[in-house]
Structure 1
Amino acid sequence: MTMDQSDLTTEQVLRRDIPWETYMNTKLITGTGLQLLRRYDKKPENYKAQLLDDDGPSYIRVLVSILRDIFKEETVEYVLALIDEMLTANSKRARLFHDTSLANEDTYEPFLRLLWKGNWFIQEKSCKILSLIVSGRPKAQDALIANGASKSKEFTTIDNVLKGLVEWLCAQLKKPSHPSRGIPTAINCLATLLKEPVVRSSFVQSDGVKLLVPLISPASTQQSIQLLYEACLSVWLLSYYEPAIEYLGTSRSLPRLIEVVKGSTKEKVVRVVVLTLRNLLQKGTYGALMIDLGLPQLVQSLKAQAWSDEDLLEALTQLEEGLKDNIKKLSSFDKYKQEVLLGHLDWSPMHKDPIFWRENITNFEENDFQILRVLITILDTSTDPRTLAVACFDISQFIQYHPAGRIIVTDLKAKERVMKLLNHENAEVTKNALLCIQRLFLGAKYASFLQA
């Protein structure tokens, strides 16, 4: 092998001379197959186009049968390069693979097998070709197969192909076969394939969402902008699928999407992220989270920019309206909960408001005192003095207002964590840690007397 297989190009591969006659002599190609190959191979683009228009399925049959029967690497690469060239020139030719005259050919199987078997050139081309063939299939065909009408059991079904592709794409995102092209290739195919319901569900089941999220980060170079765009496009397609929405909610996708919009001047990137945010706005706690992440202000500044895309302007207006509705709906406890879950606390009025604590103290019991537990965890994990001070104060408020406050806080082992903060360098932290300890030891009345 004279060069690194991983950086072969289609042009380099197509310069090879393949000894088709030898394959006919060894019965790996039929006489008719040889004639078709001679007529097609090494001919000018417009001449090949004419042949494909006249008798496309016959050429597909020969090329697929070579991939099925011949295992010599140089020949496999050559045939994949021929098919890639054919589909790159005109992606509608993917329909040729689904011609009724090929009903007895398993046109998917060789590509699916080569995804795992070949070097990088073979894997990349197989993935690209398979994605195009699958996307170009007549949808009526699915119904036929579902009813068991047209294909025997030995055939690779469309579901197998899509699941196999998702498996390969996730494997690339985890451990790319090529250092610089593995991930871009996977994301490029994913952005095409996620229109398919089966792909959405396999991708979520394969835990693919968490592999996608790290790719959502502001991009600088042209290549990384394209990768970012296709990653965001994939998230947008997933935002139409309920189980994926839950996954996106538990990952850090929302803050990342907002960072991308802040840092991107590329209109297509901004548009696909804004459309995604619009889809997510009405789901679960997304609305409240968007408000906490400062999206209303960001949408206003985006609206003030000169975008040429009508869809983007319309989506921004819808997003703005939806956020306004959400702000109206949020109860004070929802807002409080969001603040705690985000882990950034500040002296907003509700912390010191007795009415807030009296009215909402029973809400702290939800999910086995989840919010109280998070407050206690913040004491261990936060490095921000303001957050630490407010967390100590809020725990002391809980002790004061909940009938069993002292017992619950003691059971959750908060005392040790608060004690550590008594030596903090920040005066605001030590003052509120002391208040919390006093309420824990002495009871609320005595502590408020001391505080006075």
Structure 2
Amino acid sequence: MPMDQAELNSDQVLRRDIPWETYMTTKLITGTALQLLRRYDKKSESERAPLLENDGPSYFRVFINILRDIQKEDTVEYVLALIDEMLTANPKRAKLFHDKSLEDEDIYEPFLRLLWKGSWFIQEKSSKILTLVVSARSNKNGLTAIGEGTKKKTTSSDDVLKGLVEWLCIQLKKPSHPNRSIPSSINCLATLLKEPVVRSSFVQADGVKLLVPLISPASTQQSIQLLYETCLCVWLLSYYEPAIEYLATSRALPRLSEVVKGSTKEKVVRLIVLTFKNLLSKGSFGAQMIDLGLPQIVQSLKAQAWSDEDLLDALNHLEEGLKDNIKKLSSFDKYKQEVLLGHLDWSPMHKDPNFWRDNITNFEENDFQTLRVLLTILETSSDPRALAVACYDLSQFIQYHPAGRVIVTDLKAKERVMKLMNHENAEVTKNALLCIQRLFLGAKYASFLQA
């Protein structure tokens, strides 16, 4: 896309003179349409407002027909800029597209078609207008809306929402415009994700993972707005179970924690805290939050002077919920979180025989997931403390699980531990040796040697 075309803005487009008379002569617009356009075009907002108040749907019919019948890019851009300007001045005007007098018009089709063709200006304006218009329909529960129950085949709101989600996800994956694609797409999603059907389409399109990289500390006005709208999307998704499953397996929680620690923007902090509040009782989120140090973060946030009552209530609720979670968290849950996050340290449970006796069968969950992660730590960690604890825990598993030696051998742990016997850190070599002894000699004999 040529850069001058990519940087086109509404002011430049609206300075054009469009030959409406020529279009009427060639029968591309009617005489009535020409009259309406003469009254409306090149007028100020104060002159246009009463026209739209008295006869808004008639103007919309003219604009829709032009977008349907005229292909010239200059004119298409001009009409889209006119509609965008009108809706920016008063977003409630989007409801006029659903007026009963327009039920024979396919109000969505021109915009949906233009999403996929033409300049970036055309695509961006079409996505923005479609988002406002489809969100302004009066019925969002699957019952027939204006223009969807007529005999004439029209584009349904479901078609629009699916098409929009597809286009927005493509823009987030492979932006058409270097600076505008992502902010524009997130802006539309922050409105659209209020609808359950959009949440479902977005999750099916694997959209959740496209949001996570955008959760990062922001300093400029533009980046703060993008962060706010991204957090708004995540908060809306935190009400939808399938999206919560995606969030659980992503880095959303650590990223949100990082942002909330350093943000002074109340609107951003409020959304993140409300998201935490929603997720607290779901799956392993409570345990993850404790591991990320959220109780301390909440304390720090409570000490600041916020004016938003909802934020203060949410912080109190979150604080109480985290306290309850700390009480409920079993020793194995805490252990599992420690392993999954790779934060291994000599906390008391590692050397507690009761912990190993009581929890040894829990290691079998999810096809020995916790054990497999321990082995990954042995291979990838550069932290001597984590390596030493992982070796020790592996030796404990061999000692307490009836089939420990067989399972650990099958998972090819021997080679990984052998390498660590030559480690420069004495704590690592000592625990690697203990693990190898238990693997080769059996638990009782290795314990005797260690004693």
Question: Aligned residue for 2:99?
Answer: 99
**Alpha-carbon shift at residue 144 of structure 1 (Å):** 2.2
Distance in 2 between residues matched to 1:272 and 1:12, nearest whole Å? 36
Give CA deviations for 1:379-406 in whole Å, capped at 9, x if unaligned.
Answer: 1121111111100000000111112211
Q: Give the deviation of 1:145 after TM superposition.
A: 4.6
> Do the aligned partners of residues 152 and 389 (structure 1) sit closer, same or farther apart at CA in structure 2, a change above 3 Å counting?
farther
- Residue in structure 2 matched with residue 41 of structure 1 by the alignment: 41
Q: Does 1:254 align with 2:253?
A: yes
TM-score, length-normalised on structure 1?
0.97
Report if aligned partners of 2:18, 2:75 keep a CA contact under 8 Å in 1.
yes
1:58 aligned residue: 58
The amino acid across from 1:344 in the alignment is: H
Task: Report the TM-score when normalising by structure 2.
Answer: 0.98
Question: Structure 1 120/322 Cα, relative in aligned 2: closer, same or farther at 3 Å?
Answer: same
Counterpart AA for 2:118: G
> In the alignment, does 2:46 pair up with 1:81?
no
Cα drift, residue 151 of structure 1: 3.2
Shift of 1:229: 0.6
Q: In structure 2, what is the equivalent of residue 419 of structure 1?
A: 418
Give 1:154 shift. 2.0
The alpha-carbon distance between structure 1 residues 329 and 381, as it changes in their structure 2 partners (threshold 3 A), is same
Q: Using the alignment, how far apart are the partners of 1:176 and 1:353 within structure 2?
A: 53
Name the aligned partner's letter for residue 374 of structure 2. L
SS in 2 for 1:423: coil
Work out whether residues 138 and 145 of structure 2, in 8 Å CA contact, stay in contact via their aligned partners in 1: no
Structure 1 residue 263 displacement after superposition: 1.6
C-alpha distance in 1 between matches for 2:231 and 2:302: 20
Greater mean alpha carbon deviation, residues 383-392 or residues 65-74: 383-392
Q: Which residue of 1 aligns with 2:179?
A: 180
Partner SS for 1:106: coil
Structure 1 stretches of 4+ with a deviation exceeding 3 A read none
- The percent identity for this pair of structures is 81
Match of 1:137 in 2: 137
The alpha-carbon deviation at position 153 of structure 1 amounts to: 6.4
1:141/1:291 CA distance change after superposition, 3 Å: closer
Unaligned runs of 5+ in 1: none
Relative to 1, partners in 2 of residues 1:25 and 1:186: Cα closer, same or farther, differing over 3 Å?
Answer: same
Describe the shift of the 1:36–1:153 C-alpha distance in structure 2 as closer, same or farther (beyond 3 A). closer
Flag the 1:404–1:256 CA change in 2: closer, same or farther, 3 A.
same
Contact 1:173-1:186 at 8 Å conserved across structures: yes
Residue by residue over 1:110-137, the C-alpha shift from the partner in whole angstroms, topping out at 9 and shown as x without a partner, is 0011111121110111111111111111
Q: Contact 2:57–2:99 at 8 Å: present in 1 too?
A: yes
Query: Which residue pairs with 2:272 in the alignment?
Result: 273
| 1:366 positional shift | 1.9
Q: CA offset at residue 157 of structure 1?
A: 0.3
Alignment partner, residue 113 of structure 1: 113
* Cα separation, partners in 2 of 1:194 and 1:202, compared to 1, 3 Å: same
Instruction: Tell me the equivalent position of 1:303.
Output: 302
Q: Which amino acid aligns with 1:17?
A: D
Q: Check conservation: 1:142, 1:158, Cα contact below 8 A.
A: no
Is residue 238–residue 245 contact of structure 1 (8 Å, CA) maintained in 2? yes
In the TM superposition, residue 449 of structure 1 has moved relative to its aligned partner by 2.0
In structure 2, the CA distance between the partners of 1:238 and 1:45, relative to structure 1 (3 Å rule), is: same
Give ranges in structure 2 of 5+ residues lacking alignment.
none
Q: Give the Å deviation of 1:150.
A: 1.9
Task: Tell me: CA distance 1:449–1:314, structure 2 relative to 1, closer, same or farther (3 Å).
Answer: same
Distance in 2 between residues matched to 1:140 and 1:266, nearest whole Å: 33
Q: 1:32 maps to what in 2?
A: 32
- Mapping of 1:194-273 within 5 angstroms? 194-273=193-272
Distance in 2 (CA, whole Å) between partners of 1:141 and 1:281 is: 29
1:141 Cα deviation after fit: 8.4
- Aligned equivalents of 2:336, 2:141: Cα separation in 1: 50
Name the SS of the counterpart of 2:223 in structure 1: helix
Pairwise mapping of residues 288-299 of structure 1 onto structure 2 (< 5 A)? 288-299=287-298
